[in-house]
Amino acid sequence: ATREKVLGVDHPSTLTTMNNLALVLDSQGKYSEAESMHRQTLATSEKVLGVDHPDTLTSLYCLAHLLASRHRYNESTALYERACAGYNTTLGKDHPTTRACHQHFEQMLVSQRQDSPEVPPDTALKSAGRQSANRSGLLHGFAKLGLSHSKENTS
């Protein structure tokens, strides 16, 4: 709230803080609040920074990940496709963030298949532990990414 008052809602540092707050809300299990914050951050980022800006793509990626974790695979797929394509164009296919986005998209597709009725329940349970570990690592990675973007934006 302080950054928003001092810098304004459209400032890149404010957007990074909003994205990080959405990640915290997600980690606390406040999914609807996190989704709302992610959507607000994404809409403002697209308007202020443009659809292919790395920070906008991060907002898109975070929202895709949240929706996938809530088993909202159709919405998540569309967002992951946009984020992956944007990262390919903006950062290049070999950039670590691009590769991570593609990897998480692939993991979401596996989860989607495992959630389908044809998959035995024990297979889905085995993947749940891996998903939890991946989620924790992803949140940590996003936090680090947000902090590095924040430093760049305040210079």
Structural domain of residue 89, as residue ranges?
Answer: 2-154
Distance CA 59, CA 97 (A): 13
Which are the contacts of 9, defined by CB distance < 8 A and separation ≥ 6?
44
The token pair that represents 61 in the structure block: 């990626």
Run of H or E including 95:
none
Can you give the CATH number for the domain in which 99 is found? 1.25.40.10
Q: How many domains does the chain have?
A: 1
What is the tens place of the pLDDT at every residue in 36-90?
A: 999 999 999 999 999 999 999 999 999 999 999 999 999 999 999 999 999 999 9
- For the question of whether the overall pTM of this predicted structure is more than 0.85, the answer is no
Report the sign of the C-alpha dihedral through residues 116, 119, 125, 126, in that order: negative
